[in-house]
Amino acid sequence: MALVGAFIVPHPPLIIPEVGRGEEKKVGKTIESYHAVAKRIAALKPDTIIITSPHTILYSDYFHISPGRGAKGDFGNFRAKNVTFQVEYDEKFAGALEACAERDGIEAGTLGEKNPELDHGTMVPLYFINQYYTNYQVVRIGLSGQSLPLHYRLGKCIEKTAAKLDRRIVFVASGDLSHKLKEDGPYGFAQEGVEFDKQIVQAMKEGDFLKLLEFNPDFCEAAAECGLRSFLIMAGSLSGKSVEPDFLSYEGTFGVGYGVCEYRITGEAPNRNFDEIFTIKQRELARELQKHEDPYVHLARHSLETYITSGKYAKLPEGLPEEITGRKAGVFVSLKKHGSLRGCIGTISPVTGSVAKEILRNAVSAAAEDPRFPPVTKEELEELVYSVDILSEAEPIQSMSELDVERYGVIVSAGRKRGLLLPNLEGVDTVEQQVSIAKKKAGIYDNETVSLERFEVVRHK
């Protein structure tokens, strides 16, 4: 046996009567759908339930699998301490999954547990399931800050592990949708939130897991989504299988989107390996962009590809325009992969003899020296998208009123600490956000006195 069913569910604690205290009646469709899901899971009689939750332990570069024999939890944080849970973990499955992930080059395992208690993203689904079925073990998995395709690949490991251990597995992907659907909601309103829910609900209804991989990370952040990565791990567990979606309900009563959907497995479908399809499309996109890149971007790509493939720094090609070789300026080179930042390094003011040399130097640094990311590998080169920012000379300003997030970048200084943020970045909508991010990058505290500078940028991409 292997995977026998998969479900997407939300996790608002207020749908638990002891927590909601009457408010849960306002999301009656969600509760009704939850009972239907719980009954269907009971009918499938799983040996093990896999639960992915955004609210268990999360690391930027590692998937955490809850260790040990089991765990307890309650809704004490939501004024309902009497609603308690105790689960038994499938230790053998957790160990086999960790080994599978290691073989597939995915950082995942049972190390680093900070809090063993069950989280509400796990307990809300179990509240309903336990009313109809209790003869199961659990594997609880957290999300990570890693790429969307890597979440999908972890799901493929889950399916392989289930098949190897001959388990009847049900996958429960716990996650809300956007948290920004209403002005009076807990997180306010953003048009991206409404659009995100519209798009993801359509993808859920159609079983279009490729769409889940194609969501732009900046768009998702603006929408304040919760469950996308959870859903992607589930989608990966269904890779290569034909599914029949049954979309049960959607509600956004409280300004947060709640979607419920079942995926019945109906057979094999080799054309539904969406991580492979996604990678092919991204490489095609990168190749198409290369056809139209200007000399600045072409030089950055030439520099990085030369360094990665030969281990040597590229020499300046002949025939470059005078505007690149004949002037000096600060330069930032940014790399993106699958819509997410993969590296960005630059110089505020020039440290070489020309813009061209600045690009050669900073392209390699963006790939190899950005401390937020591991070094770029040869296998990634086909999927990278480049941009090159040429900075004007910075000028001091007296206050934030002289900034404009679309026109000006900002440099924030306090003593020897100095932080920079480029202009016109997705997800940075206000001057206050811009300055705050620049201060965090420099390690500047809010109570420190700062000086401000602004600069303009010509972006090549």
- What is the Cα 125 distance to its own chain's centre? 22
* Whether residue 402 sits in one domain with residue 374: no
* Whether residue 162 sits in one domain with residue 109: yes
Joined tokens for residue 239: 């890779």
Asked whether residue 343 is domain-assigned, the answer is yes
The DSSP bridge partners found for residue 389 are: 332, 459
Residue 1 has a pLDDT of 61
Q: How far apart are the C-alpha atoms of 387 and 397, rounded to whole Å? A: 27
Asked whether residue 118 is domain-assigned, the answer is yes
* Whether residue 340 sits in one domain with residue 215: no
* Whether residue 155 sits in one domain with residue 50: yes
In the listed set 388, 415, 436, which residue is the last one of a domain according to the structure? 388
Residue 375 has a pLDDT of 95
Asked whether residue 350 is domain-assigned, the answer is yes
- What is the Cα 69 distance to its own chain's centre? 29
Is residue 233 within 8 A of residue 152, CB to CB? The reply is yes
Asked whether residue 286 is domain-assigned, the answer is no
* Whether residue 29 sits in one domain with residue 147: yes
* Whether residue 326 sits in one domain with residue 247: no
Q: What is the CATH number of the domain that holds 431?
A: 3.30.1490.150
Count the domains in the chain.
3
**10 Cβ neighbours under 8 A, 6+ residues apart:** 30, 124, 174, 175, 176, 177, 227, 256, 257, 258, 259, 260
Q: How far apart are the C-alpha atoms of 358 and 162, rounded to whole Å? A: 51
Q: How far apart are the C-alpha atoms of 74 and 137, rounded to whole Å? A: 18
Q: How far apart are the C-alpha atoms of 455 and 337, rounded to whole Å? A: 27
* Whether residue 121 sits in one domain with residue 246: yes
* Whether residue 406 sits in one domain with residue 311: no
Instruction: Describe the crossing of helices 91-103 and 148-165 by its angle, rounded to 10 degrees.
Output: 130
* Whether residue 414 sits in one domain with residue 340: no
Q: What is the DSSP letter of 116?
A: -
In the listed set 388, 417, 449, which residue is the last one of a domain according to the structure? 388
* Whether residue 160 sits in one domain with residue 226: yes
* Whether residue 72 sits in one domain with residue 19: yes
In the listed set 338, 355, 388, which residue is the last one of a domain according to the structure? 388
Asked whether residue 80 is domain-assigned, the answer is yes
Per-residue CA distances from 164 to 66, 167, 238, 240 (Å): 20, 8, 15, 17
How many beta carbons lie within 10 A of that of residue 200, not counting itself?
Answer: 26
Asked whether residue 278 is domain-assigned, the answer is no
Place of tokens 């859903």: 231
The structure's pTM equals 0.87
Q: β-pairing, 48-53 with 137-142?
A: parallel
What are the average pLDDT values for consecutive 10-residue runs of the chain, which has 461 residues? 93 96 95 98 97 95 96 96 97 97 96 94 98 98 94 97 94 98 92 97 98 93 95 97 97 97 96 95 91 94 96 93 94 92 92 96 96 92 94 93 94 92 86 92 90 94 88
| Three-class DSSP category at 262 | strand
Residue type, 52: T
Instruction: Output phi, psi for 399, to 5 deg.
Output: -155, 170
Domain of residue 363, residue span: 293-388
Burial class (CB in 10 A: 0-12, 13-18, 19+), 95: middle
Q: What is the CATH number of the domain that holds 139?
A: 3.40.830.10
Q: What is the CATH number of the domain that holds 357?
A: 3.30.700.20
Joined tokens for residue 250: 């959607």
Q: How far apart are the C-alpha atoms of 45 and 52, rounded to whole Å? A: 19
* Whether residue 307 sits in one domain with residue 163: no
Asked whether residue 11 is domain-assigned, the answer is yes
